[in-house]
Structure 1
Amino acid sequence: MDISPMELLILALASFRLTRLIVFDKITEFLRKPFLEEVEEKDENGEIEVYWVVKEGKVRGFFGELLSCYWCTGVWSTLFLYASYYFYASWSAPVLLILAIAGLAAIIESLVQKLIN
């Protein structure tokens, strides 16, 4: 299937946003919780650092590794989004567009924050 440059851009931005949603966002913490344990530690400056540790077990460990790896989750997110677009374009196009717009907005916000700080 040939895709246009605009479709590629939309798929890329949607994949970026979906991946960040799964790996980092608070709203999807319930997806990570069965496979990852949140650990808090104080650093040498007394600031609290929060990080995730993969839980034990073959299934939990596998999904924990997947969910803790931005690149791994990105590949699976992209595969899911592309397959949904390929097989169900009329259903997935609005979802892809919403994710792409949110992804672009996140990139713009990051750039604005860097300029301000």
Structure 2
Amino acid sequence: MFDNVFHFLLLGLASFRLTRLIVFDKITEFLRSPFFDEVEQEENGVKEIYIVPKKGGIKGWIGELLSCYWCTGVWVSIILVCLYFFIPNWSGPIISVLAVAGLASFFEIAVQNWLKP
């Protein structure tokens, strides 16, 4: 199915990074915001703001999808694999950049944990 193990790992790293980009990163918050509501709760004089998916409809469905890392990861993987097979010349550079960024995030976590006192 895949040309080799390297391409499989490349797609895995790219899927990991794109999923995190969509679900967690601040830079894509503007994409997520139409599908979530902010709910403010106060306990013991401390206000907390929670972000919850909108209720019902397509916005609610997308909000639920975006609030689930695993769900979003499946769809991201499907999209990247389809791009890999059907538009390899166009998707190759994008998949490579995402994979390098994904690998870099693993290195960053390792360095942060290594430098902890």
Asked if Structure 1 and Structure 2 have the same fold, meaning a TM-score greater than 0.5 normalized by the shorter chain, the answer is: yes
Higher mean displacement: 57-66 or 6-15: 57-66
Cα deviation, 1:47-71, whole Å, max 9, x if unaligned, reads x866420111221111001000000
SS of the residue 1:34 aligns to = helix
Deviation (angstroms), 1:41? 5.8
Give the 3 Å change call, closer, same or farther, for CA 101–43 of structure 1 in structure 2.
farther
* TM-score, scaled to structure 2: 0.88
| 1:1-117 → structure 2 map (5 Å cutoff) | 1-39=1-39, 51-117=50-116
Distance 1:70 1:59 in 2: 18
**For residue 18 of structure 2, what is the amino acid of its counterpart?**
L
Q: 1:68 to 1:85 in 2, by over 3 A?
A: same
> SS of 2:2's equivalent?
coil
Compute the displacement of 1:39 (Å).
4.5
How far apart in 1 are the matches of 2:43 and 2:113? 24
Structure 2 portions without partners, runs of 5+: none
Number of equivalenced pairs: 115
SS of the aligned residue for 2:37 comes to strand
Distance 1:81 1:111, change over 3 A: same
Are the equivalent residues in 2 in contact too, given 1:52–1:68 (CA < 8 A)? no
Distance of aligned partners of 1:75 and 1:49 in 2 relative to their CA distance in 1, 3 Å threshold: farther
- Work out the CA distance in 1 between the residues paired with 2:79 and 2:34: 21
- What are the ranges of 5 or more consecutive residues in structure 1 without an aligned counterpart? none
Per-residue CA shift, 1:9-52, capped at 9, x if unaligned? 100000000000000011111111011124566787x6x86642
Larger Rg: 2
**TM-score, with structure 1 as normaliser:** 0.88
User: CA separation in 1, counterparts of 2:84 and 2:106?
Assistant: 23
1:105 and 1:11 map into 2 onto residues whose CA distance is 15
